[in-house]
Every structure is written in structure tokens, then in C-alpha cells.
């Protein structure tokens, strides 16, 4: 070999530019997408594979749970601070940006607590139905079954597509039922009863979480939410109410009451 010839030195491998993972958030997006696709397309067969996987609670949430719970919060936040949320009779409710952020953070953490409560209920009810459930398996059941409801939450951004949100929720319930027997190991004759008790107790826990979230609304910092009332309220029975005329009538009524109060002598006179 020529002495003057440079000996090639190994260079450290450069990380390939890939969308498979995210170094900042620690999420393998490709794996997340494939897992979500498998769950949606194989709601019956996927559960045996999910149960056989060796996974910790930390890994479950880091790789899948935190993101699947965050998506509805993000989409709902964008809806609340942009086009707002429609209430009955055409009224629109907008959150100011700061209040929307506060509400979303509280909502996100309450969702995580709700998932753990539901898994704990499933785990603690298991001995009543002659089976034993690992906590990580109960969490897998709850987290993975939320996939359709979470992914369809993107339709929060498009007014008028609430029916698709409903379909996503129903598909999540179907997934939960399909995986219930596999992940809990309950006997077939006790499956429906165990499933019903778990849903009922979880619904009660969700109601408590909803109450806490409702109480958090008035305590939010920042300006008051903006309520947009249309010029015409459409009531049941094809009844239309002109809100401007209604406001004028209410103002006149208030003025009349004030004048009446002034004309009535005080009790001490």
C-alpha cells in the first residue's frame, strides 16, 4: 500500500432523515400509525397480539396513550378558540385563547386520570367474576379501545359533522367489547355482566370527572368567554324569535321596572 495514500477512516453514522420517529417528543410516528391502523382494521384479532406484547405502563403511555388522549383535546381547543362550539338555537360559544389553553390542560389531565380510574375498576372487579386482570392489561384495553374516538375527533374542526364523532365513539365501544374477554380472561357466561358492571362504574367515575371539569370553567383566568347570539333564534315548532326586538323589549321592561320602583314610596316614608 502506498504510504502516502490516506487510510480511510470510519465516520460515525448520521441519523437518516425519517418520519418514523420524533427525537423531541419520543414518539415513533410510524409505529403509532401502524398500531392505530391494525386496531381499526382488525378489531377482533388485534387483542391477542396486544395482550401477548410485553409492555410496561410507562411504555404504553409514552408510545401510544399520551398522544391518543391528546388528539381530542388539541382538536377541541382549536375549535373552541376559532369557530367556537354551537349551542342550541344557533348560539355560538367561543373561548378566549388563554382560557382555552387552561381548559385544555385541565381536560387532558382529567382524561388521563379517567383512564386510570376505568382500568382500576376493571382490575378490582375481576375477582367478583372469577378472573384476574393485570393492571397493564386493563390499561391496554382502555387506551387502545379509545383509538377510533380519538382519531375521529379531527371532525371537531368541521362544523356539522358531529355524527362522525358519534360513530367514532360507538366504534370505540365496540372495540372495548371485542377486547374485553381477551384482556380480562373472564368466562363467556360472565362476560356481559362483568362488561356491564365495568361500564356502569366507569360512567359514574366519568361523571365525577365531568363535574370537576365543569367547575374548572368559572375558575379560569383571563377574559370572559364570548357568546355569539344570532339575529334570529330558531326554536322548536318553527318558531323564530328576533333577538334585537327581544333585547329592546327586555330593555324597555327593565326601564319600566326601574321607574315603577322610583314611584313607589319607601316603607319608612
* Domain boundaries defined on the chain: 29-228, 230-261
**Residue 64 confidence class, pLDDT cut points 50, 70, 90:** very high
**CA angle 44–69–134, rounded 5-degree value:** 55
**221 pLDDT higher than 60:** no
**Residue 95 confidence class, pLDDT cut points 50, 70, 90:** confident
Give CA–CA dist 215/212, Å, rounded: 5
For position 178, what pLDDT does the model report?
Answer: 93
Q: What is the DSSP string of 160-196?
A: T-HHHHHHHHHHHHHHHHHHHHHHH---HHHHHHHHH
3 state DSSP class of 268: coil
Q: How far apart are the first and last CA of the chain?
A: 121
Which contiguous run of DSSP H or E holds residue 94? strand 92-94
pLDDT in tens, 155-201: 988 877 778 989 999 999 999 999 999 999 999 999 999 999 998 88
Q: What percent of the chain is predicted at pLDDT more than 90? A: 41
Strands 232-235 and 226-228: unpaired
For position 170, what pLDDT does the model report?
Answer: 94
- Determine if the pTM surpasses 0.75: no
237: left (phi over 0), alpha (psi -120 to 50) or beta: left
**CA angle 124–119–215, rounded 5-degree value:** 110
**248 pLDDT higher than 90:** no
For position 89, what pLDDT does the model report?
Answer: 55
Amino acid at each position: 500500500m502506498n504510504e502516502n495514500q490516506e487510510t480511510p477512516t470510519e465516520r460515525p453514522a448520521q441519523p437518516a432523515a425519517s418520519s418514523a420517529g420524533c427525537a423531541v417528543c419520543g414518539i415513533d410516528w410510524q409505529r403509532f400509525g401502524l398500531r392505530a391502523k391494525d386496531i381499526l382494521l382488525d378489531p377482533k384479532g388485534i387483542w391477542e397480539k396486544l395482550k401477548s406484547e410485553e409492555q410496561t405502563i410507562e411504555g404504553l403511555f409514552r408510545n401510544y396513550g399520551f398522544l391518543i388522549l391528546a388528539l381530542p383535546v388539541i382538536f377541541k381547543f382549536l375549535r373552541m378558540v376559532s369557530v367556537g362550539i354551537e349551542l342550541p338555537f344557533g348560539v355560538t360559544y367561543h373561548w378566549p385563547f388563554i382560557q382555552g389553553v387552561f381548559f385544555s390542560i385541565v381536560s387532558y389531565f382529567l382524561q388521563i386520570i379517567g383512564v386510570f380510574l376505568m382500568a382500576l375498576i376493571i382490575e378490582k372487579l375481576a375477582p367478583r367474576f372469577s378472573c384476574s386482570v393485570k393492571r397493564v392489561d386493563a390499561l391496554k384495553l382502555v387506551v387502545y379501545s379509545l383509538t377510533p374516538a380519538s382519531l375521529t375527533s379531527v371532525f371537531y374542526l368541521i362544523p356539522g359533522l358531529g355524527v362522525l364523532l358519534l360513530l367514532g365513539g360507538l366504534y370505540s365501544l365496540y372495540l372495548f367489547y371485542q377486547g374485553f374477554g381477551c384482556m380480562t380472561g373472564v368466562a363467556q357466561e360472565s362476560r356481559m355482566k362483568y362488561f356491564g358492571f365495568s361500564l356502569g362504574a366507569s360512567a359514574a367515575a366519568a361523571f365525577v370527572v365531568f363535574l370537576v371539569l365543569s367547575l374548572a370553567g368559572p375558575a379560569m383566568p383571563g377574559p370572559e368567554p364570548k357568546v355569539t347570539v344570532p339575529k334570529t333564534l330558531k326554536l322548536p315548532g318553527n318558531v323564530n324569535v328576533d333577538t334585537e326586538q327581544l333585547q329592546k323589549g327586555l330593555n324597555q321592561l327593565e326601564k319600566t321596572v326601574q321607574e315603577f320602583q322610583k314611584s313607589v314610596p319607601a316603607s319608612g316614608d
